[in-house]
A and B are shown apart, each in its own frame.
Chain A
Amino acid sequence: MRTWQLYQPTPQQPWTPSRAAHLHRRTVFGATWKELQRDLTGKPQDAVTRVLSDEVRADGVPDEFTSLANLIGNAATEQPNVERLKAWWIYRVLFTPAPLQERLTLMWHNHFATSNLKVNNLSLMKLQNDTFRKHATAPFGDLLHAMLRDPALLIWLDASSNRRGHANENLGRELMELFTLGIGNYSESDVKNAARALTGLTVKEGQFHFDSHRHDAGQKTILTKTGPFNADQLADVLLQNPATAKRLASRLIGEFFSEGVVNETAYNELASQLRTTNLDIGKAVETILRSQLFFSDTNINSRICDPLSFLIAPLRALELFDKPPSTLALSEWLQRMGLDLFYPPNVAGWPGHRTWLTTRTVIARANYAAAVVSGEVYRPAYVSDLQELAKKHSAKKDDTFEKMMKTLLLGGATDLPAKESTNPTTDSREASCVLKLLTGFRAHLH
């Protein structure tokens, strides 16, 4: 796989603060200054290893993270309070020792896009979310089989209405169109037969239940294979189809690359790797993150920063975690930026990329930046001392602090020409600097 060769620093592509920041911003919602310096003093592949092995965060991970996260999550489902459930996930993203897992969990939420609008059950939404997390880097079959037993997904796609002699095609169609093969790789007859294979899947008292009386055990022909397929056998037929590997390759490329960086050959090679590794997602992610392609100039600062990264990266850069910000407030901001967790816009999820930026969301991002520096991400508002932060990192001089923030917040983009973007004024030079950087157009690229 020559197109996926490992990144090694060269005079043309040296290991720079910009490249190190790229790794953090694209995969794990940004870095602190200490984390960035640690990576810069070592080898790039070691930095990638830390991302992959959940050792990337040196700051702000509470010792009792797991138990605190469980406490918050369970309280949210018991109340039940959907805003608290969104806040639970944001808490995880901000404080977890395994941020790559959270990014992939979001990717799967987008892949199996299920909305609480219809499911209307927070325990089931959380259960699904935990399943995404559990299988985030597993062979894709583990996740797909788990999803065919996932109550939230089954409710979302009307599985219970689909029974022998009375097909409801919703789940069968989306299983093929969105979760595995992709459109154009199956016929209407395949959809009808897939729906028959899926009969009997139901949800009973909030739990998956297989009702054999409702199951159609007859012969079905799906993708030229014939047999008395049930749901798991159907899933295996779909998993073995080369179109599924291609769709997953495309999903992963869309997650980690800018448009146009990955050519047809590289795309096919990644799909081929997936096929020969039992659709191992973790291995595919590793291939991507270690590659020269991932660290190539065309892949740096050339992608629209997604709302969750825009939310979290400034908090990591400014180290706003020893006193935790209000995750409920953060959740409100995230919604205003266009990402309402647990409520994807439709079964295809958020289209992302350029669609993240609209008038409404750009204004929300600018207002969020103001809220970060004015302490309104805390409730009650609390202004963090950015001069202290500057002092801690020996960046007391104006231009040193600005350089540090440019690296962390903009990936070390070149100097901003005067008046090109914004010129807010605040009482603190450090706050002004951060606000200026976050409200300029480069903040939206990562």
Chain B
Amino acid sequence: MLNRRSFLNQSSLLSLSPFIPGFLSQTAHASKASKDDRILVVIQLDGGNDGLNTVIPFADEIYAKYRDKLRIDKKEIIKLNDSLGLHPGMKDVGKLFDNNQLAIVPGVGYPNPNRSHFRSMAIWHSARLDPTDHTGQGWIGRACDQQQKSGNATPDAVFVGDSTIPAAIIGRRTNSIALNKEEEFMLVSNLAAPDKPVSGDDLQSFVQSTVNSSYTAAKQFAESTKNRSFDKGGYPNYRLARKLHLISRIIRLNSGTRIFYVSQPGYDTHSMQKNTHARLLAEFSRSLKAFLVDIKKAGFSDRIMVMAFSEFGRRVKENASVGTDHGTSGPVFIAGEMVNAGVLSKYPSLEDLQDGDLKSTIDFRSIYTSLLTDWLNIDATVPLGGAFKSLRVVS
């Protein structure tokens, strides 16, 4: 009878079809970063991050008025300049700012903000405001569609996490995969992928190509893990850090994948926000810094750009449960050595609110435009469904 070990031993029988992706292949090509080698890592802060307590307009007295119990003490705020500062949990992000590795874009939003998690996230994912355009495809997926080369089965985008692949990285033909931990990539059976690659959008083709790319990815991953010489240290013990560590390992394998996507859940802080929010921001801040340090050690600094966003900010006035309800605009972070560092937009006025929410001072598609054109070298018009003024986030 078959058992797990004999299956594992036989895994090399997996057929070597010409369809095997370059995913996780070990053939490192020593590279000087060209635009085609550049990588974008997106961190999605899930649930609606309280931007007002993340990038804090501490010099504005109205801030203290709206935030009675949730106010961050001025003394503890990490000052960025004489009016803005970071939540005290974000010391590492503060260091990135001091080292010119961080761009902060306050007040990012879009017209007629929607306070539904799903609708707003769908808008950020699809870069389309009209719900009838929310078809499950996203701005990055559509961008990758434009870069499709025939016969290339390297995943265009990798989502690291245990939930479903976000619409942002789904396109018509884009090959997006999800992974969580490496054990999940070990096939116990000797399974062969189909001989012929399939094309088409119908369900059967989708299933066939997903099964195919999954089995081949498993095979490639099994080979890649034989090389254990990767640096393991330096990451704090957070789920986000573990996900970023796995991304770093895949990047070091020179897989060819240019898009990585992770999410950090928990930002939907309707009640008792203070400690939860501090913990979330510390996880975000420390994990991001560790990742960039690791990437620098690996010599990939000039190839990595990280963007962090949330589907909306929260209401300016705290609610009666010491939390905050769904709001509108919020800050976006862009990090990396190649970033155009600094505070890149105007902080929304606390005097001039709309329905108790911050008016946005910049459209999120301005950031997408720069990331696509200046960083990934992909024309942004089609993925974003129009031309938008670019906010230069790349130095």
Q: Do A and B bind each other?
A: yes
On chain B, the residues within 8 Å of A286 by CB distance are: none
Q: How far is the CB of A428 from chain B (nearest CB, A)?
A: 7
Is the beta-carbon distance between A359 and B1 smaller than 8 angstroms? no
A169–B326 Cα distance when bound, in Å, is 9
Closest to B23 in A: A359
Are B203 and A422 in touch, CB under 8 angstroms? no
Chain B 84-113 residues near chain A, CB threshold 8 A = none
Alpha-carbon gap, A141 to B270, bound state (A) = 28
CB-based closest 10 A-B pairs: A166-B320, A161-B321, A362-B214, A358-B178, A359-B177, A426-B2, A355-B164, A359-B214, A345-B163, A441-B211
Decide yes or no: A427 and B2 within 8 Å by CB, A354-B206, A366-B215, A367-B189 being known contacts.
yes
CB distance from B63 to the nearest CB of A (A): 21
* B192 contact from A177, A336, A345, A423, Cβ within 8 A: A423
Residue-wise, chain A 317-329 has the 8 Å CB interface mask toward B (1 for contact) of 0000000000000
Q: Is the CB of B164 within 8 A of A168?
A: no
* Residue B363 CB within 8 A of the other chain: no
Give the complex CA separation of A258 and B204 in angstroms. Answer: 12
List, in ascending order, chain A residues with CB within 8 A of B30's CB.
none
What per-residue 1/0 map shows which CB atoms of B188-218 lie under 8 Å from chain A? Answer: 1111101100000001101110111111011
B2 with A431: CB separation less than 8 A: yes
- Check A336–B184 contact: CB distance below 8 A: yes
With a CB–CB cut-off of 8 A, which chain A residues contact B211?
A: 357, 362, 421, 440-441, 444
Given the complex of chains A and B, what is the CA–CA distance between A161 and B325 in angstroms? 11
Q: A168-B270, A355-B165 known; A445 and B207 CB under 8 Å?
A: yes
What are 26 A-B pairs with beta-carbon distances under 8 A?
A158-B271, A168-B319, A183-B131, A184-B131, A258-B203, A336-B184, A348-B118, A357-B207, A358-B210, A359-B177, A359-B178, A359-B185, A359-B214, A362-B211, A362-B214, A363-B185, A363-B186, A367-B186, A367-B189, A370-B4, A370-B7, A422-B192, A423-B192, A441-B211, A444-B207, A445-B207
**Residues of B close to A421: CB separation below 8 A:** 192, 194, 211
User: How far apart are B70's CB and chain A's nearest CB, in angstroms?
Assistant: 14
Quick one: which of A429-443 are within 8 Å of B by CB? 431, 435, 439-442
Chain B residue numbers with a CB within 8 Å of A369 are 189
Are A439 and B213 closer than 8 Å at their CB atoms?
no
Residues of B within 8 A of A427 (CB): 1-2
A357–B205 CA distance with the chains assembled, in angstroms: 13
Determine the distance from Cα of A358 to Cα of B162 in the docked complex, in whole angstroms: 10
Q: Given A345-B163, A351-B164, A441-B208, decide whether A168 and B191 contact each other with a Cβ distance below 8 A.
A: no
Bound-state Cα–Cα, A340 to B161, Å: 14
Neighbouring A residues of B192 by C-beta, 8 Å? 419, 421-423
CA distance A421 to B184 in the complex (A): 21
Q: Is A121 an interface residue (CB 8 A)?
A: no
Cα A427 to Cα B7 with chains together (Å):
12
Chain A nearest CB, measured from B129 CB (Å) = 14
A373 contacts the other chain (CB 8 A): yes
Q: Main SS of chain A's interface residues? A: loop
B180 at the interface (CB under 8 A from A): yes
Docked-complex contact A161 and B271, CB < 8 angstroms: yes
Also in contact, A370 and B271, with CB within 8 A (given A161-B321, A304-B207, A357-B210): no
| Known A168-B319, A439-B189; further 9 A-B contacts with Cβ < 8 A | A161-B270, A165-B320, A351-B164, A354-B203, A355-B164, A367-B186, A421-B194, A424-B190, A426-B1
B210 and A362 contact, CB distance less than 8 A: yes
Q: What 1/0 mask marks residues of chain B from 337 to 370 whose CB sits below 8 Å from any chain A CB?
A: 0000000000000000001000000000000000
| A81 located at the interface, meaning its Cβ lies under 8 Å from any Cβ of chain B in the complex | no
Query: How many of A's residues come within 8 Å of B, CB to CB?
Result: 66
CB of A363 within 8 A of CB of B187, answer: yes
Q: A-facing mask of B295-325, CB < 8 A → 1, else 0? A: 0000000000000000000000001110101
When distances are taken between beta carbons in the complex, the residues of chain A under 8 Å from B186 are: 363, 367
Beta-carbon contact of B164 and A367 below 8 Å: no
Say whether, besides A184-B131, A369-B189, A374-B1, A441 and B207 are in contact (CB < 8 Å): yes
Interface 1/0s, chain B 153-164, versus A by CB < 8 A?
000000100111
Q: Which residues of B contact A364 (CB under 8 A)?
A: 184
In this complex, what residue of B is CB-closest to A425?
Answer: B190
Q: Is the CB of B116 within 8 A of A173?
A: yes
Chain B 108-148 interface 0/1 with A at a Cβ cutoff of 8 Å (1 = within): 00000001111100000000000100000000000000000
Q: How far is the CB of B245 from chain A (nearest CB, A)?
A: 17
* Contact in complex: A347, B189 (CB < 8 Å): no
A188, B115: Cβ atoms under 8 Å? yes
Cβ of A86 within 8 Å of any chain B Cβ, yes or no, is no
Contact between A420 and B195, CB atoms less than 8 A apart: yes
List A contacts of B117 (CB < 8 A). 346-347
Q: Does B27 contact A (CB under 8 A)?
A: no
Q: Tell whether B80 is near chain A: CB-to-CB under 8 Å.
A: no
- Complex Cα distance, B213 from A362, in Å, reads 10
- Asked if A359 and B164 make an inter-chain contact with CB atoms under 8 angstroms apart, the answer reads no
Q: Is A77 an interface residue (CB 8 A)?
A: no
